[in-house]
């Protein structure tokens, strides 16, 4: 990853043929992308589910778990990253079912590198635009436009206040939010000393019940005497 700069778009390339994988990685790194490579569907699935990427470039014909299986499983668990699939020349059906499984675009092998670059650029741009409207933490996704909240593929029904509270916590993902901030920015209560702390605690409690009951890991944490933080726990 020599050429990549901080904030460079992160790409995951899942390709089992070493020559193709190397050519892709070198070419994309030369364009300033941060590239991670996986050589099996299993590894690709693991990396895609555990780390954040701006784009997944996925070869369909992989040993073991093939590209379509990986793609289907990822989309099913709420994976929203754009996916560009790579497919063999005559596998028309693969392309169609790739799009059915949630791919955003495809390239037919062998392809011209500049053409791949153009697709990559477009998909990364699109993905980054969407990210501003979609807030995530682990397997939790909040869609600002449709006002839907999904965790691990399941919808979570929230009241308008709970939604605003979660949105605020997610916008501060990883940093501690004080009750004072919540009173000011979510309840629009500027007056100090208003007995709002209990109200806030009750709402956070309800929100946590709904959000954390829907997933294996706790996301909303109370920092005693300080406030709250949304954070993915290791276990």
Which residues contribute to the site for Ca ion (CB under 5 A)?
Answer: 16, 59, 61
Q: Cβ of residue 17: shortest distance to Ca ion, in angstroms?
A: 5
Instruction: Give whichever of 95 and 121 is closer to Ca ion, judged by the CB atom.
Output: 95
Count the neighbouring beta carbons within 10 Å of the beta carbon of residue 41: 25
Q: Cβ of residue 109: shortest distance to Ca ion, in angstroms?
A: 9
3-state secondary structure of 49: helix
3-state secondary structure of 8: coil
Count the neighbouring beta carbons within 10 Å of the beta carbon of residue 197: 12
Instruction: Give whichever of 61 and 136 is closer to Ca ion, judged by the CB atom.
Output: 61
Give residue number: closest CB to Ca ion. Answer: 61
The token duo for 142 is 């909040």
Residue written as tokens 């073991």? Answer: 64
Q: Which of 26, 5, 16 is nearest to 116 (CA)?
A: 26
Instruction: Give whichever of 109 and 218 is closer to Ca ion, judged by the CB atom.
Output: 109
Q: Cβ of residue 38: shortest distance to Ca ion, in angstroms?
A: 12
Distance (Å, whole) CA 215 – CA 140: 8
Task: Return the percent helix, strand and coil in the chain, to nearest 5.
Answer: 40, 20, 35
Instruction: Give whichever of 16 and 162 is closer to Ca ion, judged by the CB atom.
Output: 16
Q: Which of 210, 208, 200, 203 is nearest to 180 (CA)?
A: 200
Instruction: Give whichever of 24 and 166 is closer to Ca ion, judged by the CB atom.
Output: 24
Paired residues of 56 in beta bridges: 12, 83
């Amino acid at each position: 990853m020599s050429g990549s700069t901080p904030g460079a778009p992160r790409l995951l390339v899942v390709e089992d043929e070493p020559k193709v994988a190397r050519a892709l990685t070198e070419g994309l790194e030369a364009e300033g992308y941060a590239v991670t490579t996986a050589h099996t569907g299993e590894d690709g699935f693991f990396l895609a589910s555990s780390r954040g990427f701006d784009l997944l470039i996925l070869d369909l014909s992989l040993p073991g778990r093939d590209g379509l299986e990986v793609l289907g499983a990822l989309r099913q668990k709420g994976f929203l990253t754009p996916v560009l699939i790579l497919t063999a020349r005559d596998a028309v059906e693969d392309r169609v079912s790739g799009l059915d499984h949630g791919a955003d675009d495809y390239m037919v092998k062998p392809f011209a590198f500049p053409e791949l670059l153009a697709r990559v650029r477009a998909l990364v741009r699109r993905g980054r635009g969407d990210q501003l409207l979609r807030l995530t933490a682990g397997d939790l996704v909040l869609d600002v436009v449709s006002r839907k909240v999904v965790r691990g593929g399941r919808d979570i029904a929230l009241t308008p206040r709970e939604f605003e509270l979660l949105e605020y916590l997610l916008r501060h993902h990883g940093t501690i939010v004080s009750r004072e901030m919540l009173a000011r920015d979510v309840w629009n209560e500027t007056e100090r000393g208003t007995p709002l702390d209990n109200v806030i605690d009750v709402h956070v409690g309800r929100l946590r019940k709904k959000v954390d009951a829907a997933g294996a890991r706790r996301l909303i944490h109370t920092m005693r005497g300080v406030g709250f933080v949304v954070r993915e726990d290791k276990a």
